[in-house]
Amino acid sequence: MLKSNKSTPFRYFNRELSWLAFNRRVLEQAESIEYPLLERMKFLAFVSLNLDEFFEIRVAGILQQIKSGSHECGPDGLSPKEQLEQIQKKVSQLVADQSECWRSQIVPGLDKSGIKFCDYDALTRPEKEWVQNYFIKQVYPILTPLAIDPAHPFPTLVNKSLYLLASIDDPKTRAIERLMAIIPVPRILPRIVRVETPRRGNPEVYIALSDIIKRHINSLFPGYRVRSAVPFRITRNSDLYFDEEEVENLLNKIEEELHKREKGAAVRLEIAKGADSILLKQLLKAIELAPENVYPIDETLNMARLMSAYDLIDRPDLKFKPFTPFVHPDLESHQPLFEKIAKRDYLLHQPYDSFQPFIDFISQAAQDPAVFAIKQTLYRTSGDSPIVQALIDASRNGKQVTVLVELKARFDEANNIKWARQLEEEGVHVVYGLVGLKTHCKTCMVVRRENGRLRRYAHLGTGNYNPKTARLYTDLSLFTARRKITNEVADLFNSLTGFCISPNFKKLLVAPFNLEASIQRYIKTETRNALGGKPANIIIQANSIVDQTTIDNLYRASQAGVKIELIIRGICNLVPNVKGLSENIRVRSILGRYLEHSRIFYFENHQGQEPHLFTGSADWMPRNFYRRIECVFPVQDPEIRKRVLGIIKVYLSDTHNVRHLKPDGSYHSKKPRKGKLPFCAQSSLAEAAKLRQKSLYKKAKRSSEITKDENIKPDLN
């Protein structure tokens, strides 16, 4: 990943290869014997789902560059063609290792636990009879085989849909005709089928739908002989392309583009081994794809479909034990939340803290006669969202409700269009943000009349307003009624709904207005502190760090002596631990049961002031700085500051799920010091939540509880 130019290494890792290194770490979770088997299976599905989006967006962009004749190298020194070659090599190995993990680890383990994933040949006679009956009654009636010949032109193959490629011959002729037929597998059918034989005590048996169809494919072509049949799927370019400034109706335009997405340029063909080589060439020609973009897949299974199998299999003993999140006694549903928030700030740290207090916050606002207005952003939310319902209830109750729905939230566009229309029908004022910018900030404001005056209450966070992902992602959010904060939140919403070229934010860091400049200023302040012999530290937790200017300033800070700790879950273009460049920078990545999604920014700032401590919605990428509306907010309450600093300390102490980034781009784990047990940050935070739960009505101090153990006292200096 790290190339050399003469004797000087490139200063940046390749973004795409860094992302693939992240997905490799996801695969490591599936390979971990410490996780329950069905959770490991779920991680295998994540690997495939991640790859789908990677090809649909990132690889599609590289292929466009190559097609346009671009030879321009990026900051990592790789041309588009060189990037693609390395991507193909790494993806091929990743997929091979993923399949090996499934075959040699997960399947045998599930088998011992009474859950069998079988191909057709491994079924018993009664099971085969059941499968045959299932095919006849449930599958065959809705299959439509498509012959490919001069009278039947090549069909449009839908993005990521399942097909079978069949080679057909007429047995009455001596010649091998190799007639092509394509069998679309209807999306309505489950891709993994449970074989339901009547005998009790048998293990649960599951079979892939593609295998069922393949074993009965002759019934689709009576009088012909099927020489081969293999499942395949095509991945297409799924980015949406349109000029917002030329669009009169953004909602209608995105709906139009969503139909085109299914038919974008092919970027990947996944196909099982055993395909007729001549038909494969014809298929590639028809979809205009080069042979190097073909990736072999398991004979019967698309790993992404294991996600549905996870939900299908009712075996709690093979899944993570349910975790009950903590609810602060002040924020329980029967409490009047506005009275509590008026007195102090409250921090939620999902999934260790429950997301329910926010649902109660918005629900109480919808019903409270003193509430006059609600304003909220929606980037991604769940299908049966109680938040959307609360906003509808508020509108029905005569309140002024304004919702910023981000229609361009990638792969959630259709859902968001649905919510937008539903909200509009109920009288909610729905807007779509600013032209050319995605509204990615996570903000909500309630305006309430108290004692004859209006008072604002705000909720600001790092994660989406989605109750489902709040149980799976780690995120931070803040309830506050501080006037200096809520006044600026009001300005932020006014900027999104009206006209505002340069709003003046002093407390909030808001992209694209003052976020990027503020970050650079804070980094440079630490650099000056180090050069002046003062303590200087930077600690960042984020999903990704890509922005070149920011990386360069971190390099300068490192060279000045600033100690920099980066906890970056995903993409990291910064090269750490290079002498003379970044020797004071350490980069960690932590993956575990929960997806690390919080962003925390700490700057020592020793100039007679407290350290700067922020959290918010933005990663350190050009898109977050310049092409999105982001909101990063200060943590000011003393007790909450201690808690957030305690969270940072816990993550910096992890020796279990942590991987350290090396200068060559690889990640490695470090064994705990001799005599010390591995320390898991996520487990520790979960245990601290349980301790808080046991003492519901005692003032909880998570950071002090966690750091009592001498084994996990990190040195922030």
β-bridge mates for residue 545, sequence order: 572, 620
Which pairing describes strands 658-661 and 667-668: parallel, antiparallel, or unpaired? antiparallel
> Per the structure block, which two tokens stand in for 527?
């650099």
Residue with tokens 């229309």: 421
Q: Rounded to a whole number, what is the largest CA-CA distance in the chain?
A: 94
Handedness of CA 478, 484, 489, 492 (dihedral sign): negative
The candidate with the shortest Cα–Cα distance to 525, out of 633, 609, 582, is 609
The answer to whether 454 and 372 are in contact (CB under 8 A) is yes
Alpha carbon distance 426, 391 (integer Å): 9
The answer to whether 119 and 211 are in contact (CB under 8 A) is yes
Alpha carbon distance 373, 391 (integer Å): 10
The candidate with the shortest Cα–Cα distance to 438, out of 375, 378, 487, is 378
> Per the structure block, which two tokens stand in for 400?
């002024």
Residue in 440, 459, 597, 656 annotated catalytic:
440
The candidate with the shortest Cα–Cα distance to 30, out of 16, 18, 19, 45, is 45
Alpha carbon distance 81, 592 (integer Å): 34
Alpha carbon distance 704, 495 (integer Å): 40
Alpha carbon distance 635, 540 (integer Å): 14
The answer to whether 191 and 298 are in contact (CB under 8 A) is no
The answer to whether 602 and 51 are in contact (CB under 8 A) is no
The answer to whether 508 and 443 are in contact (CB under 8 A) is no
Would you call 410 exposed, middle or buried from its count of C-beta atoms within 10 A (0-12, 13-18, 19+)? middle
Q: Which stretches does DSSP call E strand in 341-452? A: 346-350, 371-378, 400-405, 429-431, 438-439, 442-450
Q: Establish whether 440 is a catalytic residue.
A: yes
The dihedral formed by the CA atoms of 357, 363, 367 and 371, expressed in degrees to the nearest 10? 70
Which active-site residues does the annotation give?
440
